A and B are shown apart, each in its own frame.
Chain A
Amino acid sequence: MLPDDPLRRILYIDLTRRRFWAADRPDLFEDGLGGAGVAVRLLEEECPPGADPLGPENPIILAVGPLVGLFPMASKTVAMFKSPHTGNLGESHAGGRSAVAIRMAGYGAVVLRGASPTPVYVVVDGDAVYFRDASALWGLRSTDTVGRVIRERERGAGIRTIMRIGRAGERGVTYACVVTETYRHFGRLGLGAVFGSKGLKALVVSGRRALPVADRRAYREVYDAIFRAATESPLMQKYHELGTAMNVLPLDAIGALPTRNLRSGRFEGAEAISGENLARNYLGRRVACAHCPVACIHLAALRLPYPNDPYFYKTTMVSYDHEPIYAVGSMLGIADVSGMLQVIDEAETVGLDVMSTGVTLAWATEALERGLISLKETDGLALAWGDWGTYIRAIGRIVDPPNDFYRALGRGVEYAASVYGGADFALAFGGNEMPGYHTGPGCHLTYLTGARHSHLDSAGYSLDQRAAAKGETLTPEGVADALLEEERWRQVLASLVVCFFARGVYAPEGVERALAVAGMSCSADGLARIGAETLARKHAFKAREGFDPARLRIPGRILETPSPLGTLDEGFLRRAIARFWGSGRE
């Protein structure tokens, strides 16, 4: 690391005492690069064994990396915490302006400790930190309003991040998210509830630092190569044009688009909710994360008439991606695009992870159909596939629960099924709700083995799709080994905080050259070692907090509904799990 690189500085914010200080920790970045590699080390330091995820002892770690502010697409912030949703490792990544803002404020990581006795929002403005009273912001209906108010009160327009929670986070819904820059999220595993438990309504960060480079000429050369790859090569084209919503139709065509709580892999409304249809009829604007020329964020312009006021309309910009489209589109049987966008918008408004929300409501719909619950539990809401208006009302009840049933829904599908039954069709893996792929054994093994139980951990869906396209036969050992290798490499990307969408641009040789500009020398072997070690540390944290791969629940539903690679076999999945964790602990 270059001697004057501020990356080494960790900002500690103690919410209990309302104090802050910075500490130099070059060791963390030399050993772990940044992002996930640094965050997991700070989590080990900060999070006591058995910590209550909603207690003051649970830390929030936000970490960025050496390439942020120097190169394009190094644009993610890695958050680590103990998850109130799974009771284990919490890790969530978000873009927006968050990573650049933290780096430009002069820090490599921020650690939030303790809990404020009254609601606060915290402003990090370069070297200064301000604790602002947020009692008047607590309980606001919309995360958007929180952003608007803070936007007008604080400086740093254009270079700041405003991370905030909605009422879901205040109320401790275990899958509440943190919204940043209106349309990006620390979506999964409940960071929003951890913010809420600390009385932390929002975190604003801004700064305008210069960053040193080891070699000016090399800097421009490496930059131009990465920039060209991002803007001219086909590597990023799909994210650029239709965005991730381009997945909807191809997945539907092969029967891999989870529909109506995965009773099917095909959705008759796929064409309507496809990226193609959204682009044609709704796409209103495309926007980018800070320092990313790709601009994958797609905003639909949703124009709605007021029912009782002629000539009154409102136009809302709703961000869409494959995962929300799956979770509240096909999964809930909603083919009405406007209705689907309104459900997504409601989840944004209250600050819920839209993926967990959709999967939880899908389970509730099926449980009602099967008579496991009645209208008494649903508070009179006749949840039914496609009925988006009722789903919007149900989201309101998850946030303000009128009874124990909605309180249970607010803890996710794993918990709700443990109380009301229906575990076979409760689609959660390691306690986290399912992502939008039913491509074969690979995707489900990613959900099961991934440290975050996220599709992005090791992207098993692409393994499945490749096997289907080439007519190859997958073996448990082959899948387990490939997923382990992929997840280890993704630890490197997550430590550099390079967007996973840019993984094709940041291959090992390119990473080496970019790191050299930042004054960090690391060979391909060294990177691989850091990846393996980071994953091993996450696994150790999970084991410490009680995770046991042998006890992973495999929902029966994934074995019933055929995948494009045929009906899945539990024995195959169990063998692969054993192999993955066996080799992961060598």
Chain B
Amino acid sequence: MPNRLSVVDVDRCVGCQSCMFACARRLGEGGLAGACIGVRSAGGIRRGFIVVVCRACPDPPCARVCPTDALLPRSPGGVRLRAELCIGCGNCVQACPFGAVFWDSGQNKPQICVYCGYCARYCPYDVLALEDLTSPPALRATPSLLLTEGDCLKS
């Protein structure tokens, strides 16, 4: 089932970073190096926050600029990273207008959201939700609480 993460209501974001730490923890480690989601202030905390996350574009620009087809478009949207093909050129980082291609400087390869929704489970304020791209848009704002443990730890 092709999912994607959706920022349901960015105005409810308090900047706690629970989603960022969850994303790294999904890999079994602490810290932030593994995070494929980013939260920053919208020009100072008084103005609230911006949540940077892969929106699973139907025609992803990151994949179009990849010289080795390491980023494989997924139907109906998003990409999958085939790390063995990646040469670490960083074109994808430049191509994403949201800044949602994060970089693993240790491996010198991009870090791409796998649309598992683990982060959304830890959003205490329902800013994030995992939605099914095959369902009609009107029905998509899935409350994060409906996810099960199994859905989230895959990948």
Residues of A within 8 A of B (CB): 69-70, 72, 100, 103-104, 144, 147-148, 151, 157-159, 181-183, 208-213, 216, 219-220, 223, 227, 231, 285-295, 299, 317
Asked if A159 meets B32 with Cβ closer than 8 Å, knowing A147-B44, A183-B45, A227-B122, the reply is yes
Q: How far is the CB of A288 from chain B (nearest CB, A)?
A: 4
Task: Name which residue of chain B comes closest to A299, CB basis.
Answer: B46
CB distance from A96 to the nearest CB of B (A): 9
Q: Give the Cβ gap from B60 to chain A, nearest Cβ, in Å.
A: 23
Given contacts A291-B18, A292-B16, whether A213 and B124 have CB atoms under 8 Å apart is no
Query: Judging by beta carbons under 8 Å apart, are B29 and A210 in contact?
Result: yes
B9-45 residues with Cβ-Cβ distance < 8 A to A are 14-18, 21, 24-25, 28-35, 38-41, 43-45
**B46 touches which one: A209, A288, A317 (CB < 8 A)?**
A317
Question: Which 6 A-B residue pairings sit nearest by Cβ, starting from the closest?
Answer: A158-B40, A211-B30, A216-B28, A210-B33, A288-B16, A211-B31
Contact A70 B46 (CB under 8 A): no
Q: A103-B31, A231-B124, A299-B46 are in contact. List 16 more A-B contacts (CB 8 A).
A: A69-B21, A151-B44, A158-B39, A208-B33, A208-B35, A209-B31, A209-B33, A210-B30, A210-B33, A213-B28, A220-B25, A285-B48, A287-B45, A289-B16, A290-B16, A293-B16
B124 adjacent to A157 (CB under 8 Å): no
Please tell me which one of the listed residues B17, B32, B122 contacts residue A209 in the complex, with CB atoms under 8 A apart.
B32
Question: For residue A293, which residues in chain B have a CB less than 8 angstroms away from its CB?
Answer: 16, 18, 122, 124
Q: Does A208 lie within 8 Å of B32, measured CB to CB? A: yes
Query: Which residues on B sit within 8 Å (CB–CB) of A289?
Result: 16
Q: Please give, as numbers and ranges, the residues of chain A lying within 8 Å of B14 by CB-CB distance.
A: 286-288, 295
| CB of B110 to closest CB in A, whole Å | 14
B122 cross-chain contacts in A, Cβ below 8 A: 227, 293
Docked pose: A181 CA to B17 CA in angstroms: 14
By a CB distance below 8 angstroms, the chain B residues around A216 are 28-29
CA distance A158 to B34 in the complex (A): 15
Interface size on B, residues (CB 8 A): 28
A210 close to B18 (CB less than 8 A): no
- Residues of chain B within 8 A (CB-CB) of A291 are 16-18, 21
Give the distance to chain B from A514, nearest Cβ to Cβ, in Å.
11
Cβ contacts under 8 Å, B24 to chain A: 210
Decide: A157 and B41 in contact? CB cutoff 8 A.
yes
Once the chains are docked, how many angstroms separate the CA of A69 from the CA of B41?
19
Residue of B nearest to A147 (CB): B44
Q: Which residues of B contact A223 (CB under 8 A)?
A: 25
Closest CB in chain A relative to B13 CB, distance in Å: 9
Query: Interface centre among B15, B18, B40, by most A CB within 10 Å?
Result: B15
**A219 contacts B28, C-beta separation under 8 Å:** yes
Give Cα A500 to B138, complex, Å: 44
Task: Give the residues from 89 to 147 in chain B that come closer than 8 angstroms, CB to CB, to chain A.
Answer: 122, 124-125
- 13 of the cross-chain contacts (CB-CB < 8 Å) are A69-B31, A72-B18, A159-B32, A208-B31, A216-B29, A219-B25, A227-B18, A288-B15, A290-B16, A291-B21, A294-B16, A295-B124, A295-B125
> What is the distance, in angstroms, from B42's C-beta to the closest C-beta of chain A?
10
Known: A210-B30, A210-B33, A291-B21. A158 touches B41 (CB 8 A): yes
Contacts of B39 in A (CB 8 A): 158
Partner of B30, one of A148, A181, A213, A286: A213
In this complex, what residue of B is CB-closest to A96? B45
Complex: A147 Cα to B17 Cα, angstroms: 21
Which residues of A have CB within 8 Å of B32?
69, 100, 104, 159, 208-210
Residues on A with C-beta less than 8 A from B46 are 182, 285, 299, 317
User: Min CB distance, A132 to chain B, in Å?
Assistant: 20
Give the residue name and chain of the A residue nearest to B106 (CB). A210
CB atoms of A181 and B45 under 8 A apart: yes
How distant is the Cα of A223 from the Cα of B22 in the complex, in angstroms? 10
| Residues of chain B from 25 to 80 with CB closer than 8 A to chain A in the complex | 25, 28-35, 38-41, 43-46, 48
| Nearest chain B residue, comparing its CB with the CB of A284 | B46
Alpha-carbon gap, A293 to B18, bound state (A): 7
Query: In the bound complex, what is the Cα–Cα distance between A294 and B16 (angstroms)?
Result: 8
A223 to chain B, nearest CB (A): 7
Contact partners of A288 in chain B: CB under 8 A: 14-17
A182 to B46, CA, bound (A): 8
Report B109 CB to chain A, min CB distance, Å.
15
Smallest CB separation, A127 vs chain B (Å) = 11
How far is A231 from B18 in the complex, measured between Cα atoms in Å? 11
In the complex, the answer to whether A104 meets B40 with C-beta atoms within 8 Å is no
Considering the complex, give the chain B residue whose CB is closest to the CB of A223: B25
Q: How far is the CB of A16 from chain B (nearest CB, A)?
A: 32
Say how far A279's CB is from chain B's closest CB, in angstroms.
15
Residue numbers in A under 8 Å from B41 (CB-CB): 157-158
Most chain B CB inside 10 Å of its own CB: which residue of A70, A183, A290: A290
In whole angstroms, what is the CA distance A300 to B17 when docked? Answer: 22
Cα-based distance from A72 to B33 in the complex (angstroms)? 17
Contact assessment for A290 and B124 in the assembled complex, using a CB-CB cutoff below 8 Å:
no
Closest CB-CB distance, A86 to chain B, in whole Å? 31
**Cβ distance B43 to chain A, nearest Cβ, rounded Å:** 8
Which residues of A have CB within 8 Å of B33?
A: 208-210
Closest chain A residue, CB of each to CB of B34 = A210
Expressed in whole angstroms, the minimum distance between the Cβ of B137 and any Cβ of chain A is 29
CA distance A70 to B124 in the complex (A): 17
